[in-house]
Structure 1
């Protein structure tokens, strides 16, 4: 359990566990409200990113704005996956109910987790997401049975919408069930997108996989 984190157990044993992954400059408390908005009965597992960029918490290093350190992404993704596995054992979580919820940098580490550790997550809701492994084509892993909700703003100046489209393509090519929801705004999570994400999550069948 090598990440600072908070955990709130589910109030319904049939509810999923939401792995909450914050954006740059936030911490393990930042997305608790989002998790409750998505599913008030869900268990919430919310770690803090370990990378410090000028005092701001992040999940992986970047070489400059918009340019990621891919080797660091790979290392940090496997480290995060190890934490999730340990947390699942400690808190007795059903691994078939693990859903990542990430915003911006958190969405990107969640996307990397899908691509680098297939089978760890049942699904993911990725808000203001990009393609973290664009500089190095991910392996053709099998993501059949994995559901992903991706949202992106057409006016996003931090993560161009083409990055979200590339991510959606990468996931779809690996047999994930992907819903890409574009909106006219910027680097944000509009209420209409949040509402659709809530519906998406409620429709997602979760439970033990074979």
Structure 2
């Protein structure tokens, strides 16, 4: 997978797995990660799927309707890539925190839904529920931050509330921040994400 890896100055910090939104690249979230923690190692990945020339992490059938078969395949593909990257770049595979926006947040959620060991935690900006009607693994000890917009036309509030409930019912500790915004990233949610991250991982 096309990616960028940057070795941080503090080997005890989590490796930040950066996952862009639809149409983004492996460089989109680098400034966000710098703002979050400028001492952590970064693994920023470009999605392997193209939708009308726009990179994505998995296919969708329509707006808000995911291709579940492809989602399952791409989730495993990304999980395997992180394992390979941990060996290549010599970082702790069990100390990875995902930072995803929109489509990237959705595949990060899918990783938690399918394999608890894939991530230590996650920061999810404007995610949706990746799959419904499945049993989640035991997520005890996993920490998740969700940022949502009350006026998000792509990810309605019910999606956020459902995702929070599903993760919590599986044992994860979830903090959700609501902003009076749409689907775009806001400075307020970035600040809240940093507070959450610093409390847990600084």
CA distance in 1, matches of 2:74, 2:134: 15
Q: TM-score, normalised by structure 1?
A: 0.93
The correspondence for 1:129, drawn from 114, 127, 130, is: 127
The answer to whether the aligner puts 1:91 opposite 2:93 as a matched pair is no
Counterpart of 2:189 in structure 1 is 193
The TM-score with structure 2 as length reference comes to 0.97
Q: Summarize the alignment of residues 41-52 of structure 1 with structure 2, pairs less than 5 Å apart.
A: 41-52=39-50
1:89 & 1:161 partners in 2: Cα distance? 39
Within 5 Å, give how 1:9-158 maps onto structure 2.
Answer: 9-134=7-132, 137-158=133-154
RMSD of the alignment, in Å? 1.1
What CA distance in whole angstroms lies between the structure 1 residues aligned with 2:48 and 2:194? Answer: 29
Aligned residues: 202
Q: Is the 8 A contact 2:23 2:55 kept in 1?
A: yes
The one-character-per-residue Cα deviations of 1:132-174 (angstroms, maximum 9, x if unpaired) are: 113xx23231000110000110100011121111111110010
Q: Work out whether residues 15 and 96 of structure 2, in 8 Å CA contact, stay in contact via their aligned partners in 1.
A: yes
What is the CA-CA distance between 1:39 and the residue it aligns to? 0.4
Structure 1 segments unaligned to the other structure (5+ residues): none
Contact map agreement 1:116 1:138 (CA 8 A) in 2 = no
1:47-89 CA distances to partner (integer Å, 9 max, x unpaired)?
A: 1101100000001111111111111111100010000111111
Which consecutive unaligned segments of at least 5 residues does structure 2 have? none
Task: For residues 16-38 of structure 1, give each alpha carbon's deviation from its aligned partner in whole angstroms, at most 9, with x where no partner exists.
Answer: 21000000001111111111111
Preserved contact between residue 156 and residue 187 of structure 1 (Cα < 8 Å): yes
Pairwise CA distance, 1:205: 4.3
Q: Distance in 1 between matches of 2:201 and 2:187?
A: 24
Secondary structure of 2:18's counterpart equals strand
> Secondary structure of the residue that 1:204 maps to in structure 2?
helix
8 Å contact from structure 2 (residues 114, 136) kept in 1: no
8 Å CA contact retained: 1:129, 1:150 = yes
Aligned match of 2:180: 184
User: 1:107-144 deviations in whole A, cap 9, x for unaligned?
Assistant: 0000000111111211000001111113xx23231000
Structure 1 distance, partners of 2:168, 2:13, is 26
